Amino acid sequence: MDIKPTLVAAWFGAVITTLLFSIFFLIYLSADQIIAPQNQNFKLYSALPPDNNRLAQDIIFLDGRSLLVKNFFEGYKSPLAGLNSHFIEVADKYGLDWKLLPAIAMQESNGGKKVIKNSYNPFGYGIYGNLVIRFSSWEEAVEKVGKALKQDYLNQGLNTPDKIMAKYTPPSLKKGGDWARGVKSFMLELQ
């Protein structure tokens, strides 16, 4: 096999030229170069999406507990249905289980449907015989009873319907704890 020296020289020349061009091109592309915007007539990386935080700014937080309370009261045709957000605000303010006040209202007055006239007291709170604690509105009742549950019950270690019942409605103890069972049943329904 006879290989001509000029052919070999041309092949080596082409390989070396290609190798040198490749090295130069790699060095050129890998170098951090700053291209002044005024010299640009194209956009670098224009295929990338715009960088903005708009999505994070448009997210609206919705507390599902409020909707659960609303649906719960609406299901019973309770006059308290429109106070769902207030129930949650008061529960959060006083560190109560958010289901406790609605459950007590259902147990005591069928959700505000069976209350002493003009008392706005759906919780049966402070009602003993002829003694009736009255409130000026449903909102005031939720606020005051929520605060009282925190101060006079939870802060004293009475933090379950069974423990609350012993002080809130002692006669229920003699009846086998029906009050606490009812409150727990309504709380379970709210979950």
Q: What's the pLDDT score for residue 5?
A: 73
Q: What's the pLDDT score for residue 61?
A: 60
Q: What's the pLDDT score for residue 125?
A: 95
Most confident listed range (20-29, 51-60, 83-92): 83-92
8 A C-beta contact, residue 89 and residue 99: no
Q: What's the pLDDT score for residue 173?
A: 87
Span 37-62, average pLDDT: 56
What mean pLDDT, rounded, does the chain reach?
85
Span 47-71, average pLDDT: 70
Q: Which residue has the higher pLDDT, 54 or 10?
A: 10
Residue 111's closest CA among 121, 98, 96? 121
- CATH topology classification for 64-190: Lysozyme (1.10.530)
pLDDT digits (tens, 9 = 90+) for 141-174: 999 999 999 999 999 999 999 999 999 998 998 8
Q: What's the pLDDT score for residue 10?
A: 75
Q: Which residue has the higher pLDDT, 103 or 48?
A: 103
Residue partners of 103: CB distance under 8 A and separation at least 6: 161, 182, 183, 184, 185, 186, 187, 190
The pLDDT-based confidence of 31 (bands split at 50, 70, 90) is low
Q: What's the pLDDT score for residue 3?
A: 66
* Model confidence at 56: pLDDT above 70: no
**Is the pTM of the predicted complex or chain greater than 0.85?**
no
Q: Which residue has the higher pLDDT, 4 or 146?
A: 146
Phi, psi (degrees; rounded to nearest 5) at 128: -135, 105
Helices 84-94 and 64-75: angle between axes, nearest 10 degrees: 130
Question: Would you kindly state where each structural domain of the chain is located, as residue ranges?
Answer: 64-190
